Amino acid sequence: MSTTTTQSVAATAQAPARRRTKARIHPFLFVLPSVVMLVLLLVLPIGQAFIDSLRVDGSWSFDNYVRAIRRDHLARIAIKHTFIFAAVSVAGQYLIGFAVALLLNERLPARGLIRVLFIVPWMFPAVVPGIVWRWMFDGLYGVINEVLYRIGYYAETDPPIAWLGQTSTALPATIVANIWRGFPFIMVLLLAGLQAVNSELYEAAAVDGANVWRRFWDITLPAMLGISYVALLLAWIGSFMNFAIVQVMTAGGPANSSEVFATLIYKNAFLYADANYAATLGIILLALLMIPGALYVRSTLNKGHA
């Protein structure tokens, strides 16, 4: 890496100034297609949504924002659920992902195959995790109830648990599905981090008589801080804006008990036909995502310059 940098620095220095001025059209033509796409199909739509969010009955107003923040009971519930959904999901994905990554970093027979098997949840199309977990959590014929019944969690006379049909368990059920879906991504990132840790450190520590915990605490954890930070940010962003899993499993119900921001936006836009208010909620969601987004940008750019 360092040689490439030196080479490119040297090449830039050698490039005569006159060619650089003559060639000013080239960089423009190269970056144009992508920039045009990003502006027309990303910047412009967001601008449009922002303008929409400021329109109430044909005039300019902040009323949609006031409504979202101060008056809309549902928005407050949805934001709370979104934070719970993201926080519990990220914690679960990270802990399971880390545990599995540590396991896969050990000497194991058929490690390649085992790794592929652990990535299975990740390869389903976005709607399928929601669908299969909805079926597994089914209150009448769901396999989860069946397993709980067989291990003696409840008796035959007890009513089966309607996981997705009661307000107390709907959101936790969607979180379980989301953890299942998302942990392989974290696992892959963390495994790459583990494999980059200098194995001589472990050997030296073993020679010094450090036990497994000490080695984990003093070598593994510090070495994993950087990659963990990125993994947690990406997992948070992914869970925070999740739509497919919740929409397919509960569509936010019952009685909004699993309503997250994305499903609420969808409802406002396409069921309540209130596009301007949906755009307002969308802009708020965007603003909330810009905090982890900015942290991610900073960490990635810093890494690039290091």
Partner 1 sequence: MALKLALVVLFLIPTLFPMFWIVVSSLKSNAETHTLPVTFLPTEWVWENYKEVFERRNFGRYLFNAATVAIATTAWGVLVAAWSGYGFARYDFRFKPAIMAFVLVAQSFPRILLIIPYFQFANRFDLKDTYIALILAYSTFIQPLCLWIMKEYFEQIPRELDEAALVDGASPYRAFWDIILPLARPALGATAIIGFLTAWNEYEFALVLTSTERVRTISVAVASFIGEFTTEWNLVMAAAAIATMPLVIVFLFFQKQLMHGLTGGAVKG
Site for partner 1 in 15-44 (CB under 8 A): 23-24, 26-35, 37-38, 41-42, 44
Q: How far apart are CA 133 and CA 96, in angstroms?
A: 18
Site for partner 1 in 149-208 (CB under 8 A): 149, 180, 185, 188-189, 192
Q: Which of 66, 95, 126, 255 binds partner 1 (CB under 8 A)?
A: 126
Query: Is residue 186 within a helix (H) or strand (E), and if so which, with residue range?
Result: helix 170-195
Q: Which of 71, 211, 290, 302 binds partner 1 (CB under 8 A)?
A: 290
Q: Of 27 and 222, which has the nearer Cβ to partner 1?
A: 27
Closest contact distance (angstroms) between CB of 169 and partner 1 is 18
Q: Of 139 and 204, which has the nearer Cβ to partner 1?
A: 139
Tell me if 219 contacts partner 1 by CB under 8 A.
Answer: no
Tell me if 248 contacts partner 1 by CB under 8 A.
Answer: yes
Burial of 178 (0-12, 13-18, 19+ CB in 10 A): buried
Q: Which residues pair with 56 in a beta bridge?
A: 59
**What is each CA distance from 66 to 34, 56, 63, 75, 205, in whole angstroms?**
37, 12, 5, 11, 58
Q: Which of 83, 243, 254, 257 binds partner 1 (CB under 8 A)?
A: 243
Residue reference for tokens 């490690």: 111
Closest contact distance (angstroms) between CB of 140 and partner 1 is 8
Tell me if 246 contacts partner 1 by CB under 8 A.
Answer: no
Site for partner 1 in 89-108 (CB under 8 A): 96, 99-100, 103, 106, 108
Q: Is 15 left (phi over 0), alpha (psi -120 to 50) or beta?
A: beta
Q: Of 2 and 199, which has the nearer Cβ to partner 1?
A: 2
Q: Which of 76, 146, 153, 302 binds partner 1 (CB under 8 A)?
A: 146
Q: Which of 66, 80, 135, 302 binds partner 1 (CB under 8 A)?
A: 135
Q: How far apart are CA 252 and CA 43, in angstroms?
A: 29
Closest contact distance (angstroms) between CB of 146 and partner 1 is 4
